[in-house]
Amino acid sequence: MQGGFGRLFFCLFRRTCPVTTTAIVSALHEELAAVLALMPDEQQQVVGGRTFWRGHLHGHDVVAVLSGIGKVAAATTATVLVERFGVQRIVFTGVAGGLAPGVRVGDVVVAQRFLQHDMDASPIFPRHEVPGYGRASFDADAALTAQLARASERVLRALPSQLGPEVLNAFELQTPRCHQGLLISGDRFVSTTAESQALREALPEALAVEMEGAAFAQVCHDYGVPLAVVRTISDRADDAAHVDFPRFLREVASRYSGAIIDALLTQR
């Protein structure tokens, strides 16, 4: 599209059909690699010490980035995505530790709500309430979350049989399920049965625990940007939480995330 006529047509098209830029945020290098492998034309830009990858994925304008680990790193990444890259929606993929009884390794949790389990300004504010907001939890975007849940369910039906019997047996992945509900975040990798039990008692509705989702949710609430988060369950946040973690990331989680993003962006 070199000529003046082509450029004029392109400008008119962009004005009448404004492009929605989608941020694809991965918690792990392995997941980001799976997303970048789907992008034919990505170009990198470094902002705030983070590498952002701009390009296209199935015709969608996309910015892909690692979230960083923990709530502060996640909040900075979310803010840069909105302020500098002008993204209009954010989709986050990662792993989490299962908390609720039926949430098993290999299942997927699509968040409907987010809460910081380590937020505690009591007795000045009720435990878990975020001061200044009058609330403890933030919602995911309902429409984007419904799309992400559909994409996740599609992947869960197809992918386990492609992982191979050795991986399936190692992680007991025969019948993975997709759960929707409360996801909790805090600046701790929860790796003892005592701590996960304490979280279950304090927050009985929580399905799973991770370290970034609620920070993204608060920033997205501040800017009015739709957010959807999917987490593959990598462990049960108990005394065995660390044992198979690297292998799970490599052989299962990154393949789930790549396939879920692929399914989301090809959905009609």
Q: Does 190 bind ligand ADE (CB under 6 A)?
A: yes
Q: Does 237 bind ligand ADE (CB under 6 A)?
A: yes
SS3 content of the chain, % helix, strand, coil (to 5): 40, 25, 35
**Shortest Cβ 111–ligand ADE spacing (Å):** 13
One of 82, 241, 252, 265 touching ligand ADE (CB under 6 A): 241
Indicate if 262 belongs to the active site.
Answer: no
One of 85, 125, 189, 223 touching ligand ADE (CB under 6 A): 189
CA distance 242 to 263: 30
Q: Does 93 bind ligand ADE (CB under 6 A)?
A: no
Q: Does 176 bind ligand ADE (CB under 6 A)?
A: no
Catalytic residue among 31, 141, 210, 212: 31
Residue pair 214/185 in contact (Cβ under 8 Å)? The answer is: yes
**Shortest Cβ 185–ligand ADE spacing (Å):** 8
Catalytic residue among 129, 195, 235, 262: 235
Q: Other CB atoms closer than 10 Å to residue 6's CB: what's the count?
A: 10
Per-residue burial over 186-207, b if 16 or more Cβ lie within 10 Å, else e, is beebbbeeebbeebbeebeebb
- Token pair for 101: 């009884």
Instruction: Give, rounded to a whole angstrom, the gap between the first and last alpha carbons of the chain.
Output: 28
How many secondary structure helices (H) and strands (E) does the chain include? 9, 10
Indicate if 235 belongs to the active site.
Answer: yes
Q: Does 96 bind ligand ADE (CB under 6 A)?
A: yes
Q: Does 103 bind ligand ADE (CB under 6 A)?
A: no
| Cβ nearer to ligand ADE, comparing 106 with 226 | 106
Q: Does 82 bind ligand ADE (CB under 6 A)?
A: no
Binding region for ligand ADE (CB under 6 A) out of 9-17, 93-101, 132-140, 156-164: 93-101
Strands 89-98 and 137-139: unpaired
**Shortest Cβ 244–ligand ADE spacing (Å):** 11
Residue pair 163/251 in contact (Cβ under 8 Å)? The answer is: yes
Strands 50-57 and 60-66: antiparallel
**Shortest Cβ 190–ligand ADE spacing (Å):** 4
Selection from 38, 7, 6, 9 nearest residue 22 by Cα: 38
Q: Per-residue x/- mask for ligand ADE, residues 206 to 225, rule CB under 6 A?
A: ---xxx--------------
Binding site for ligand ADE (CB under 6 A): 95-97, 189-191, 209-211, 234-235, 237, 241
Active centre residues (catalytic): 31, 235
